[in-house]
Every structure is written in structure tokens, then in C-alpha cells.
Amino acid sequence: MARLLGDILDWSALDADGRRAALARPRRRTETAVTDGVRAILDDVRTRGGAAVTDWSLKLDGAAPRRIAITPALEAEARAALPPAATRALKIAAENVRIFHQATRPDDGDWVETRPGVRSRIAWRPLESAGLYVPGGTAPLFSSLLMLAIPAQVAGVGRRVAVTPPSRDGQPHPAMIVAAAEAGLEDLWLIGGAQAIAALTFGATFDDGEIEPVAKLFGPGNAWVAEAKKQASALPGGPSVDMPAGPSELLVIADRDADAVVAAADLLSQAEHDPDAQVLLVSDSRGLIEAVQQELELQLETLPRADIARAALAEGRVIRVKDVAQACEVSNLYGPEHLAIQTLDAEQWAERITAAGAVFVGPNAAETLGDYAAGPSHVLPTDGGARTMGGVTTASFMTSMSIQSVSAAGAAALAPVAAQLARMEGLEAHARAADLRSGQ
């Protein structure tokens, strides 16, 4: 029987090309058809606005865009449609997300006096608007709505525009309505895919409302959504984006003492997201690797989304290393969206990690807990983005600026220095502006 994660790759035996191939992302994420298809959608929406968004939505999702007003009556109806345990879980998750982001919201910095009379500080301001893309379709990810809309609210964003693909019956899932209410949203747009990103980028008018262009795009999505965000941000005057947040990723570092049942369950928890998701198992124990492979087969037998998981596992990797230290090196090179460390002394090894969107330390820290209820946002960088950036925080929905205040005495002391440096660079106008402050 073929192993679900393929043959074991011996990291120490791989050359540079072999190591790059071992850590490569699925090719489907960068197919020309995706790039060209997204460009066609963006160009059409830029030209025809809401009419183009509607046409693409009907073609790709089978439903026209709809605005859902989050009224008290609709919220009550949605709560009634869910079991009490479900609404209670949503409330707890929302509370934890809010607590974490309120505690980590950046404050204006103190004044720093670099020279007598020369003071500066960092000030933070919320964005005027933010577009929040919430994945849906085959699985309504209402958790992503909480993970985006609540940090944006805590930051003080002026206008939050949430979009999500329609479900197969064209109706919003009750949990999505409750999540929107918990996050304090006034409405929710049922639009998905690249056409939703285009609507947030250029603006679009529909029969039941208008989406105005937003300043920044947020949220995870499939390869089409990730590519749309990338192309939108490259447009002149286009919105900025939070990060590359495409199909999900999980790397598990496990030693001989790890629980193979737990490791397999965690790998499958990400593999079931999307056929383009990618999971990696990195271990110094052949016995543990074999046990995890067997567990994957066993657990897949009863998994409702087994076909999706199998497709993702086909893009997975299993890498054998000489020790946990080398496993950390491999993880840092890959820069996973999610990293689970299931080893002895896991907290010690976490100190070796320099590139990961979120790190789950020890056997009890299931990635699923972070996905839903621990507090930090689960919107994290994929495709190696974790090597240079972090996940969504309250600060993601804010901008920082330096504020400088200079007294007459401070200017007199600093102006000759600035003027000298300006003339060294050949910028005479700069120098003269400094001279005017020198008091001479």
C-alpha cells in the first residue's frame, strides 16, 4: 500500500535541490490558469462594477450577491436554529478573541528625547476601512469571521466589510449570522471568490446596497482568492493586503515519544480544509513515522471529508531528520502557517523557531484549539510568508506614525547636523530648510 504522505525523505542525504523540492508548495497554487482567470475577473469588475460581480457569482457560485442585514430578529432566528451548546461555544470563542486582542492592542508610545528639546514618539491610528474575506462554500468558516471582525473592531476600524461565499442552498449558515452578531457587524455580503476581492477593491453597486472600495484586504482563501489579493495590491492605488493567506499548512515536529494518534489527527485537521492544503511530518524516529502513516489510513476511513484530505495528503511530505534540532532547522526553512511541536521539552525547542505563523507547544496544544477558541487570530501567513511576517493582530488593522516635537533650543542644536548631512548628499534645499531653524 502506498503511503499517504509518500516515501520518507532523509534530510541529511538530500542535496540543495532535493531540499528545495522537499519544501516546495503545491504547484496548483501558482498555475497559469489561476493567474489568468483572476486577471480576467478583476479587469471585468473594474470595467462593469456590480454587474460583472453578479455575472461571475452566478457563473461560479450559482447565486447572485446578497446583502444580509444583521438585525436583532435575524440574530434571534439564527440562535434558535442552533443547539444551545453551539451558541455557547461561539460566545466563548468570541470572548477569548476579544480578550486577547484588547490585551495586545498597541498603545501610543512614550516620548523619547534623543537630544535636549528633540522629542519623538510612535502613535497608532485605526484604518478607515477593511475588507474581510471569510472562506465558505463547502465549509462555512464562521470562526474566520470572528478572527477578523473582532480584531478590526478592537482596533477601531471605521468601516468593516465582510464577504463570504454563499452556501449550496444560497442561505447564510446560522452560525455565520451569530458570529457576525458577536463581532458587532451590521451586515454580511454573500459573495465569494476572486469576484468578492474585486468588489472590495473597486467597489460595486447592487440592488440591495453598495460596497465601497476598502483600504486593506484581509482573510484566508483558496488559490483564487490568494491570487486576487496579490493582483489587487499590485494595482496603482489598490488596497494593501494583510499577508499571503492561501490554502492551509501544518508542519508537525514529532519525536519517538510523540503520540502517533494525535499527530495523525492534527495532520488530517488541516488536510481536510482544501485539496491544495499541505501538511508535513518531520521526525527523527522511523517508528513514529510509520505509526503516523498507519493512523492516517485508519482515521481517514471515518472522515466525512476524506476525499479532500487524501488530495491534500498527496501534496504532503514526511521528512526524517537526525534530531529535533535539525527538525527545527527544517521548519524554519519552510516557514509553516502552523507548527506543532510534539516532543519532549517542547517549550525549549520552541525557542529555536524563527519562522512560523503560530506555534503549538506540546501534546495538549492542538492546532484546532487555536483555530477556534484560544484567542489569537488564526489568519496566518502561508507560502513561506512566516519567514518575514506574522499573522493578523489588532496592529494589522492600524497604522503607526512617528510624531516629532522640537523646541527652539533643540532645533538650534540639531539643525547644523542635519544641514551638514543634507549638503553631503547634494540636497541644498534640505540644508537651507534646516538652516532656517538654526537660529543663526
Active site residues: 337-338
Rounded Cα distance between 11 and 96, Å, is 39
**CA neighbor of 191 nearest in space, from 215, 175, 209, 178:** 209
Question: What residues have CB less than 8 Å from 33, skipping those under 6 apart?
Answer: none
Cell 474585486 belongs to residue:
198
Instruction: Take residue 433 and report the three cell numbers written for it.
Output: 530648510
Rounded Cα distance between 90 and 176, Å, is 10
Letter for the amino acid at 292?
A: V
Give the 3-state DSSP-derived string for the chain, with helices as H, strands as E and coil as C.
CCCCCCCEEEHHHCCHHHHHHHCCCCHHHHCHHHHHHHHHHHHHHHHHCHHHHHHHHHHHHCCCCEEEECCHHHHHHHHHHCCHHHHHHHHHHHHHHHHHHHHCCCCCCCCEEEECCEEEEEEEEECCEEEEECCCCCCCCHHHHHHHHHHHHHHCCCEEEEEECCCCCCCCCHHHHHHHHHCCCCEEEECCHHHHHHHHHHCEEECCEEECCCCEEECCCCHHHHHHHHHHHCCCCCCEECCCCCCCEEEEEECCCCCHHHHHHHHHHHHCCCCCCEEEEEECCHHHHHHHHHHHHHHHCCCCCHHHHHHHHCCCEEEECCCHHHHHHHHHHHCCCEEEEECCCHHHHHCCCCCCCEEEECCCCCHHHHHHCCCCCCCCCCCCHHHCCCCCCHHHHEEEEEEEEECHHHHHHHHHHHHHHHHHCCCHHHHHHHHCCCCC
Polymer length in residues for the chain:
440
